[in-house]
Amino acid sequence: MSVAELEAAEVQLEAPSGLWRDAFHRLVRNPGAIAGFVFVLVFAIAAIFAPLIATHDPVEQNLLLVANGCCPGPSGDHWFGVDLLGRDLFSRIVYGARYSLLIGVVSVSIGFSVGLVLGAIAGYVGGVVDSAIMRLMDVMLAIPGLLLAIGIVAALGPGLKEVMIAVGLANVPIFARLLRGSVLAQREADFVVAARAVGVRRPTILFSHILPNAISPVIVQGTLAMATAIIDVAGLGFLGIGLQNPDETPEWGSMLTEVNEYLQTAPFLALIPGTAIVVSVLGFNLIGDGLREALDPKLRGR
Amino acid sequence: MLRFVVRRLLLLVPILVGLSILVFVWVRALPGSPADSLLGERSTPALVKEYEERFGLDEPIYVQYWRYVKTTASFDFGVSSATHRYVTDEIKERFPATVELALAAMLFSVLLGVPLGFLAAKWHGGIFDQASLFVSLIGVSIPVFFLAILLKYLFAVRLGWLPTVGRIDVTSEAKHPTNFYILDAIVTHDLGTLKDVLKHLILPGIALGSIPLAIITRITRAAVLDVQNEDYVRTARAKGLPPLTVDRRHVLRNALLPISTIIGLQTGLLLSGAILTETVFAFPGMGSWLREAIFNRDYPVLQGGILFLALIFVLVNLVVDISYAIINPRIRYS
């Protein structure tokens, strides 16, 4: 070993730098990702502290406000104006963040965990099990995502839990495929062969050696899936499918349903909830792109 | 090549079998008995019994499945419980509308996305490049139905340039033997109708094409950046070929390969997006039809419609895979 190499080894010993630490440093230096974090943070705060932030009751109607035609726009008392039934739009948007973020997080977690288990098993066990699982995933992928979610909601009936399951299940095949590919790539890696050679049990190899190394593309996909989940939930809401009382519930997508006729007189009724959806989705997309670059610096600027 | 096509066709069999089982199980998982679901609101105990006997719903499940496969294979999806018309007949009316809409969206996204992505890569790092990245980021973040509402507000409601709803002017008396309005108008040399139909396609086409546009721009940009540094491109430049020829023959031709796969994958997105876009523009295609079916609990339509769309999606991807293998010989032998 040359002197230079010895020195290099020493430097490395002093500052141990792992994949995640490096990735974190790259992530915080990416302005896009920071903007994404800010957007998501704003919505997370709105969702968690909705009762404190909202200025009015989101479902309380005040028909007097719309007595002179629809609808009074933004004012000091109603920051975002009021909707067709005189409900305060600002408060509805704040409460709406709860639905989007809650459904998004839970449904992606469902898709992630079911997909993780199926994909890991398929990739690691291989053979007939692999074929059976992956053909089932192919069939699910053959049905366009929103249509699959609609079908699942139709079978389960409307409701918050049902929408989460529907959007979550529609995500399963994507995660399962990704993880299987990742696990397959790791299966013959030296450290796995070494673990097998010293007699580590199969489940331990899968969970402590393969999965931690196969997970990074899945985390990126998870962030991007949050974005898609919010769009899908809004889409279901817009179509009036899913939640039990679409007129009552302050859900962003369903707020856009009834404004069609009022575009001429009150375009803000469509613009404000729509912008809320775009900004929150943009936030997750920015974080996802940032993570992808951080975990795989070769992709920078691609 | 033949071996590749045959292998690819054989792969279809398990998917189709799985799909038919999935939809079969799904109909039985719907609230109420299958007879209830298929009868919809007309359901009464007597009718249900008669129906169960007539359609053999009291027979063993594998007999039912086999019968279901046979009828479905002959494209018999039953009768709509809302309109009492054959589901197949309604598909014949609705599907051409969605095909025209999807083609308009695809055309818009490819014709705009490929040049945009190419130029962004050419001027890598410049303002145009940054702008294209930003716009495509917005493109994948905006829900289709919100963009549709915005376009409708701006160009139809505010400026009044384009129609707000439908597929053709309501006063039109043009005949549509194939239900492909564009095709029919061209065959009958009816320029007025053609113009009218195209006008109705612009806004929904742009709305539906926005996500594919964003994705195609990004993919083209990345592909061109990759290809630009290949040895054969450097060789072509070094031997003094005009820059335009290098771009056309060496860079773009190779960069287009990944784009063809994306087009296949986008079909699913287009079909999903069509449900939302068609709803905003009251466009009488498969999407708005399925949405009505959900509200009417019209299970024969949902069953037939979902199965049909899934089939189309699978077939489009088959065609894309095969044409990809024709363009790119490397795939065939791997």
pLDDT band at B36 (very low <50, low <70, confident <90, very high): low
The burial class, CB within 10 Å (0-12 / 13-18 / 19+), for B175 is exposed
pLDDT tens string for chain A (302 positions)?
A: 565 555 555 545 445 556 677 777 877 778 888 888 898 898 888 888 878 877 777 777 777 666 666 777 677 676 777 777 767 778 888 888 888 888 889 999 999 899 988 988 888 887 888 888 888 888 888 777 788 888 888 888 888 888 889 889 888 988 888 888 878 877 778 888 888 888 888 888 877 877 777 777 778 888 888 888 888 888 888 888 877 776 667 888 888 887 777 777 777 888 888 889 999 999 998 888 888 877 765 555 54
Distance from the Cα of B114 to chain A's closest Cα (Å) equals 16
The one-letter amino acid code at A289 reads D
State whether residue A301 sits within 8 Å of chain B by CB. Answer: yes
pTM of the model: 0.81
Quickly tell me which residue has 């986008």 as its tokens. Answer: B266
Q: Residues 6 or more apart from A172 whose CB is under 8 A from it?
A: A110, A111, A114, A115, A118, A137, A140
- The ipTM value here is 0.80
Q: Which of B10, B141, B306 should we substitute to test contact with A (largest number of A Cβ atoms within 10 Å)? A: B141
Q: Which of B138, B152, B276 sits opposite A263 (nearest CB)?
A: B152
In chain B, which residue's Cα lies nearest the Cα of A228?
Answer: B141
Residues in chain A, total: 302
Check CB contact under 8 Å for B143 and A234. Answer: yes
From chain B, the residues in CB contact with A234 under 8 A are: 143, 145-146
Distance CA B151, CA B209 (A): 12
Counting residues of chain B whose pLDDT is more than 70, the rounded percentage is 92
Q: What are phi and psi of B283, to 5 degrees?
A: -90, 120
From chain A, the residues in CB contact with B302 under 8 A are: 151, 154
